[in-house]
Chain A
Amino acid sequence: MARVTSARYSYERMFAFSSSRPPVPEKLAASLRPTSLAKARTLPLDEPWRALVPGGGLRRGSSVVVQAPAGLGGLSVGLSLLSEASTRGHWSAVVGVDDPGVVAMAELGVDLRRVLFVPRPRGAWAEATADLLDGVDLVVVRPPGRASGSVARRLSDRVRERGTVLIALSEPSAPWPIAPDLLFSVTQAEWTVSSRLDARYLTVHVSGRGEAARGERHVVVLPNRRGRAEAS
Chain B
Amino acid sequence: MERLLALWIESLSVERPDGSTLRVTQALLDALTLLCPFTDAVRLGLFTFPLRAPSRFFGGDDVVLAMVRRSVEEVAGVEVLLGVGEGLFTAELAARHEVVLAAGESTRFRRAQPLEVLGRRDLTTTGHRLGLHTVGAFADLDAARVGERFDRDALIRQRVARGELSELEGQRDAHLGRRLAQLRGEDDDFDEQLGFFGQRGAGDLRADAAALRVRQRLGAEAVVVASLRGGRTPDERGALVPWGAPAHPRLEVAPWPGQLAAPSPATSLAQPLEVQLRDALGAPVTLNTRGLLSAPPATLAFSTTLRREVTWFAGPWPLVERWWALHRRRAHVQVVLRSGEAFLLSCEERRWWLVGIYD
Which residues of A are interface residues toward B (Cβ below 8 A)?
70-76, 79, 89-91, 93, 97-107, 112-122, 124, 127-128, 131-132, 134-137, 188-191, 193, 195-197, 199-200, 223-227
Contact = CB atoms under 8 A, between A and B. Distances in A.
A200 B358 contact: yes
B156 interface: no
B262 A99 contact: no
A148 B151 CA distance: 31
Main secondary structure of the interface of B (DSSP, over half): mixed
Interface string B196-224: 00000101101111110110011000111
Interface stretch (B56-64, B165-173, B266-274, B322-330): B266-274
Contacts of A117: 223-226, 240
25 contacts: A71-B339, A71-B340, A102-B227, A102-B239, A103-B234, A113-B193, A116-B207, A116-B225, A118-B214, A124-B217, A127-B217, A128-B222, A131-B210, A132-B211, A134-B206, A135-B207, A135-B208, A191-B312, A191-B340, A196-B261, A196-B334, A197-B336, A200-B358, A224-B263, A227-B262
B342 to A, nearest CB: 6
Interface in B264-302: 264-270
B356 interface: yes
A102 B237 contact: yes
A73 B265 CA distance: 10
Contacts of A76: 266, 358-359
Contacts of A102: 226-228, 234, 237-240, 268
Main secondary structure of the interface of A (DSSP, over half): mixed
* Residue in B208, B226, B243, B269 whose Cβ sees the most chain A Cβ within 10 Å: B226
Contacts of A121: 218, 222
Interface in B227-269: 227-228, 234, 237-240, 243, 261-269
Contacts of B357: 71
A24 to B, nearest CB: 25
A140 to B, nearest CB: 12
A112 B336 contact: no
A118 B222 contact: yes
A179 to B, nearest CB: 25
B359 A74 contact: yes
Nearest to B210: A135
A182 B359 CA distance: 21
B103 interface: no
A103 B314 contact: no
Given A76-B359, A121-B222, A227-B264, A136 B240 contact: no
B224 A119 contact: yes
Nearest to B314: A196
Interface of B: 193, 201, 203-204, 206-211, 213-214, 217-218, 222-228, 234, 237-240, 243, 261-270, 312, 314-315, 334, 336, 339-342, 356-359
A225 B206 CA distance: 36
B315 to A, nearest CB: 8
Closest A-B pairs by Cβ, 8 of them: A135-B210, A102-B238, A71-B341, A223-B263, A227-B262, A227-B263, A101-B268, A103-B264
Nearest to B252: A106
A188 B341 CA distance: 11
Nearest to B233: A103
A224 to B, nearest CB: 7
A186 B266 CA distance: 16
A89 B214 CA distance: 22
Contacts of A104: 234, 263-266, 268
A200 B222 CA distance: 33
A194 B174 CA distance: 43
A225 B204 CA distance: 33
Contacts of A128: 214, 217-218, 222
Nearest to B213: A131
B217 A100 contact: no
B342 A99 contact: no
Nearest to A120: B222
A73 B359 CA distance: 4
Given A193-B312, A195-B314, A90 B203 contact: yes
Contacts of A116: 207, 210-211, 214, 223-225, 243
A168 to B, nearest CB: 16
B226 A79 contact: no
A79 B266 CA distance: 9
Contacts of B228: 102-103, 106, 112
B336 A99 contact: no
B336 A191 contact: yes
Contact of A71 (B211, B239, B312, B359): B359
A95 B272 CA distance: 21
B210 A134 contact: yes
A135 B206 contact: yes
A74 B266 CA distance: 10
Contacts of A224: 263
B226 A112 contact: yes
B267 to A, nearest CB: 5
A197 B342 contact: yes
A118 B237 CA distance: 19
Contact of B203 (A74, A89, A100): A89
Given A70-B341, A99-B269, A131-B214, 14 more contacts: A76-B266, A91-B204, A100-B268, A101-B267, A102-B226, A113-B227, A115-B226, A117-B226, A128-B222, A135-B210, A193-B312, A197-B358, A200-B358, A227-B263
